[in-house]
Amino acid sequence: MPISIVGQVIADAGPDLKLCINQTNLDSTFLGGNPTAIGGTPPYKYIWYTKIPGSKYIKSASGYLNDTSISNPKLIYLGSVDLHLMVIDGKGDFSYDEVKVKVSSNAMTTDQKVRYITKGQSVELYTLYQGGFPPYKYFWTPNYNISDTNAAKPIVKPDTSLTYYLKIVDSVGCIGPMDNFTIYLYPTSLKELNSESVPFEIFPNPVIDFSTLRLKNQGMKQFKVRITDLLGNEYVLLEPSGFGEFKIHNSDFKKGIYLVQVFDENNIVGHRKIFIN
DSSP-assigned letters across all residues of the chain? --EE-SSS-EE-----EEE-TTT--GGG-B-S-SSSEESSSSS-EEEEEEE-TTSS-EEE-TTTBS-TTSSSPBB---S-EEEEEEEE-TTS-EEEEEEEEEE--EEE-----EEEE-TT--EE----EEESSSS-EEEEES-SSBS-TTSSS-EE--SS-EEEEEEEE-TTSPBPPPEEEEEEE--S-HHHHT----SEEEESSSBSSEEEEEES-TT--S-EEEEEETT--EEEEE---SSSEEEEEGGGS-SEEEEEEEEETTEEEEEEEEEE-
Kindly state the percentage of the chain with pLDDT values over 70. Answer: 83
pLDDT in tens, 140-150: 998 889 999 99
pLDDT in tens, 147-197: 999 999 999 998 877 889 899 999 999 988 888 888 877 654 444 444 444
Instruction: For residue 227, list its beta bridge partners.
Output: 236, 260
How high is the pLDDT of residue 108?
61
pLDDT in tens, 58-111: 999 999 999 999 999 999 999 999 999 999 999 999 999 999 999 988 766 656
Average pLDDT value over all residues in the chain: 83
- For the chain, list the domains and their CATH numbers: 3-103 (2.60.40.10), 106-185 (2.60.40.10), 190-276 (2.60.40.3080)
Per-residue confidence at 138, pLDDT binned at 50, 70, 90? Answer: very high
pLDDT in tens, 21-40: 888 899 999 999 999 999 99
Does pTM top 0.85 for this prediction? Answer: no
For residues 275 and 80, the model is more confident at 80
For residues 247 and 84, the model is more confident at 84
